[in-house]
């Protein structure tokens, strides 16, 4: 095979040149064991998976240890085991029951979107580990070579990657995965460059030479001498970037915050080096219930979060139900298009007590809190709706009240909206979905939903400009904030804070600490004036001097 370049999502900044070592997780089906019930075999395998994950967690450090421990808890989840038992009662054999049940839970998590969708792979990882143990097949052993290699696989679970040796593995390339997948998280923590979500990785053959360029998000197959020289020169240019005076972080122009939604991971999120929470998703308090939580229940949960972030800021999003996040106690007649129906703030139009109780609980919990409590409403469409939401806080005061900008109409009315609120936060995932009329859950629309799309950046720029003119904060809490290169562009468009997963913080901080605001604004101007997402990214990175 001659020279070829394959694209994906890059993680890290180091260039890697080495030969491919393929890692395939194939296994053979064992004979079903005699003398044990299907339920007994299934539960034994799930417990064995839990113990294996727990042992691996105890043998490593964060963030891998937290990921593995969370997966071990999933393997012991009573709801998971009940689902497996029901499948077996219906005549499904043990292994298939585990996988089918996991598929069901993963589908539910994907339907919830955002953070919950990211966790769907955890359930599947647990199920596949349990299945291998049920069949008497040990998890795959990583390749051993005399020289460092590029590990290539369809996908890698935390159990596969936890013991990666950075002196042996020069880079990772996977067919599946995204910027916040566990492969990406662990690669960042180990300092191993990676390109994930590279579909053509399946074409790479064991032993052939490849060049992994994570900044470009590319894998070069059998690079020639010219390509090596060119990419090495570009990489040396990147390595020369150092912390500069008045950079975006140390100057205080951009706050780095974390997204939070799973309250059992609060300690891990709080330990991250951040200015606080930029998006506290409150849906989890309301999920899987036949009636809404009481004011007292909510106060207890919010107070715990506020205490964990003492001295910092917590931005709370009020309940964002509806569409892909239905609640049993808020059921309505089936809507023809739920994504365009009753969701977010609109829920209060027919169930006002839900919002009133939540605002009351947030206000009460904030009274003795030693953190700043900011509250924002999702799915606000007009300045009038923003004004009505703010009016609630005469009765239930908190430090600051704002709105999420997820609907294009609100971005277009940014100047009037900013006059009504204390701050705004852009949810890039939904804003892109509505701007391009493309369902964010449909993979065929991935190109349209690329956050580098110039039209989306223009909408972000409108909000940023309005915030700057009014002297009010504008945050970004969508997936776009976790892309280090795009983070620079968002700052250049006027974002004063970026909120992301805790695993993305170190790399984003490193990049923002090397850029001045004037350079970010120049790169943003170039990106917005581009003709496509790919051109916007290439032009912006070139403007910053990161590529030739």
**Residues carrying an active site annotation:** 182, 477
Nearest alpha carbon to residue 128 among 57, 214, 27, 273 = 27
Q: Are 131 and 96 in contact (CB under 8 A)?
A: no
What are the structure tokens assigned to 359, written together? 């605002």
Instruction: Write down the number of H helices and E strands in the chain.
Output: 22, 16
Instruction: Report the largest interatomic distance among the alpha carbons of the chain, rounded to a whole angstrom.
Output: 74
Tell which phi-psi region holds residue 460, choosing left (phi > 0), alpha (psi between -120 and 50) or beta.
alpha
Q: What is the 3-state composition of the chain as percent helix, strand, coil, each rounded to the nearest 5?
A: 50, 15, 35
Residue linked to tokens 């059921």: 331
Residue pair 500/482 in contact by the 8 Å Cβ criterion: yes
Query: Which candidate, 426, 526, 532, places its Cα nearest to that of 479?
Result: 426
Structure tokens that stand for 342 in this block: 């009753």
The SS3 assignment for 4 reads strand
Q: What is the DSSP letter of 497?
A: E
**What is the Cα–Cα distance from 547 to 542, expressed in whole angstroms?**
5
**For residue 376, what are the β-bridge partners?**
317, 402
Q: Is the preceding peptide bond at 330 cis, omega within 30 degrees of 0?
A: no
Q: Which of 409, 395, 404, 461 is nearest to 429 (CA)?
A: 404
What is the distance between the alpha carbons of residues 153 and 125, in angstroms, rounded to a whole number?
15
Three-state secondary structure readout of 185-247: HHHHHHCCCEEECCHHHHHCCCCCEEEEECCCCEEEECCCHHHHHHHHHHHHHHHCCCCCCCE
Q: CA 129 to CA 307: how far, in whole Å? A: 37
Kindly state the tokens that stand for 79.
Answer: 């709801």
Cα separation, 259 vs 274, whole angstroms: 10
Backbone φ and ψ for 18, nearest 5 degrees, come out as -165, 175
Give CA–CA dist 363/485, Å, rounded: 37
Residues in the chain: 548
């Amino acid at each position: 095979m001659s020279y070829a370049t394959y694209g994906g999502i890059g993680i890290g900044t180091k260039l890697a040149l080495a030969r491919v070592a393929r890692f395939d997780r194939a296994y053979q089906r064992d004979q079903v064991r005699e003398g044990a019930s299907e339920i007994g075999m299934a539960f034994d395998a799930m417990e064995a998976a839990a113990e294996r994950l727990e042992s691996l967690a105890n043998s490593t450090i964060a963030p891998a240890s937290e990921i593995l421990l969370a997966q071990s808890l999933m393997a012991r989840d009573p709801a998971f085991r009940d689902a497996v038992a029901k499948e077996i009662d219906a005549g499904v054999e043990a292994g298939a029951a585990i996988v089918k049940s996991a598929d069901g839970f993963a589908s539910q998590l994907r339907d919830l979107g955002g953070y919950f969708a990211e966790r769907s792979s955890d359930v599947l990882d647990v199920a596949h580990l349990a299945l291998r143990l049920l069949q008497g097949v040990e998890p795959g052993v990583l390749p051993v070579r005399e020289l460092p290699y590029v590990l290539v696989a369809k996908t890698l679970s935390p159990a596969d990657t936890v013991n990666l040796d950075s002196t042996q593995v020069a880079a990772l390339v996977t067919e599946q995965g995204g910027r916040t997948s566990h492969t990406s998280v662990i690669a960042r923590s180990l300092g191993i460059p990676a390109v994930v979500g590279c579909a053509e990785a399946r074409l790479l053959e064991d032993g052939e030479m490849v060049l992994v360029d994570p900044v470009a998000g590319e894998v070069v197959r059998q690079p020639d001498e010219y390509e090596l020289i060119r990419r090495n020169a570009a990489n040396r240019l990147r390595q020369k970037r150092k912390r500069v005076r008045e950079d975006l972080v140390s100057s205080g122009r951009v706050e780095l915050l974390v997204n939070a939604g799973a309250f059992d991971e609060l300690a891990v999120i709080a330990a991250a080096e951040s200015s606080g929470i930029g998006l506290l998703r409150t849906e989890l308090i309301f999920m899987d219930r036949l009636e809404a939580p009481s004011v007292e229940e909510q106060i207890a949960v919010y107070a715990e979060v506020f205490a964990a972030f003492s001295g910092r800021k917590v931005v709370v999003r009020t309940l964002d139900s509806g569409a892909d996040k239905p609640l049993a106690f808020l059921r309505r007649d089936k809507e023809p298009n739920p994504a365009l129906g009753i969701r977010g703030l609109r829920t209060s139009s027919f169930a006002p007590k839900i919002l009133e109780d939540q605002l009351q609980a947030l206000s009460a919990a904030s009274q003795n809190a030693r953190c700043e409590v900011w509250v924002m409403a999702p799915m606000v469409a007009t300045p009038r709706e923003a004004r009505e939401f703010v009016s609630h806080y005469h009765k239930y005061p908190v430090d600051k009240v704002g709105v999420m900008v997820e609907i294009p109409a609100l971005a277009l009315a940014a100047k009037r909206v900013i006059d009504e609120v204390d701050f705004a936060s852009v949810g890039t995932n939904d804003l892109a979905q509505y701007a391009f009329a493309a369902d964010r859950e449909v993979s065929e629309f991935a190109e349209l939903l690329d956050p580098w799309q110039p039209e989306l950046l223009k909408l972000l720029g409108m909000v940023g400009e309005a915030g700057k003119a009014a002297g009010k904060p504008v945050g970004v809490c969508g997936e776009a904030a976790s892309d280090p290169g795009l983070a620079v562009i968002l700052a250049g468009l006027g974002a004063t804070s970026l909120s992301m997963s805790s695993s993305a913080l170190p790399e984003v901080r490193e990049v923002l600490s090397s850029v001045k605001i004037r350079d970010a604004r120049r790169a943003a101007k170039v990106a917005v004036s581009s003709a496509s997402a790919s051109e916007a990214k290439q032009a912006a990175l070139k403007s910053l001097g990161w590529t030739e």
